[in-house]
Amino acid sequence: MSPGLVQAQPAGCSHVDAVHAQENAVPLCVLSPEGGLVARFSVEIADTDEKRAQGLMGRTQLKPGAGMLFVYPSPRPVAFWMHNTLIPLDMIFVDDAGRITNVHANARPLDETPIPSRGPAQYVLEIGGGQAARLGLLPGMVLQPLP
């Protein structure tokens, strides 16, 4: 678990609704700065160069509540693009303590314009375009648990 994260999982964080569950996915929660549950996701983990390079390219859909968590060995500036990505995505950049630093909403499919983090990121959560706004995900909120 990353330093600075709440050690106990909030109620419901380990539970993923069957409609949101996907194979090879793990539960991930977004907490308010005070520790309250804001959102729950079922995410695939992209923790190797190969998995990070593939990302969500080629997917034609992403269920609500599903996503992909990109994990880097250490914090660093990162930039994403939408090359061969067919669906709009929200990109949520997260520091080494699990805190959201910035959110890029509705990245356009097939757009090759780089989308940078605003500073070092150790994690990037990609979810369906528009979900971050609908759920009220904001800088300062915390992802938990992190690998």
> Does 10 reside within a domain?
no
> Does 9 reside within a domain?
no
Domain count, the chain: 1
Contact between residue 61 and residue 87 where contact means Cβ atoms under 8 Å apart: yes
- Where would I find the beta strands (DSSP E) of 10-65? 26-31, 37-46
Per-residue pLDDT, 22: 58
> Does 16 reside within a domain?
no
**According to DSSP H, which parts of 12-79 are helical?**
49-54
> Does 6 reside within a domain?
no
> Does 79 reside within a domain?
yes
Per-residue pLDDT, 120: 97
Contact between residue 129 and residue 88 where contact means Cβ atoms under 8 Å apart: yes
**Which ranges of the chain have pLDDT less than 70?**
1-23
Per-residue pLDDT, 17: 47
Record the tokens describing residue 39, joined without a space.
């959102």
DSSP 73-124: EEEE--EE--TT--S-EEEEEE-TTSBEEEEEEEEPTT--S-EE-SS-EEEE
Q: Cβ neighbours of residue 48 under 8 Å, at least 6 residues apart?
A: none
Q: Tell me the pTM.
A: 0.87
> Does 77 reside within a domain?
yes
Per-residue pLDDT, 24: 78
> Does 64 reside within a domain?
yes
Record the tokens describing residue 139, joined without a space.
């800088």
Q: CATH number, domain at 66?
A: 2.60.120.1140
Whole domain around residue 89: which residue ranges?
26-144
> Does 54 reside within a domain?
yes
Per-residue pLDDT, 110: 97
Per-residue pLDDT, 14: 57
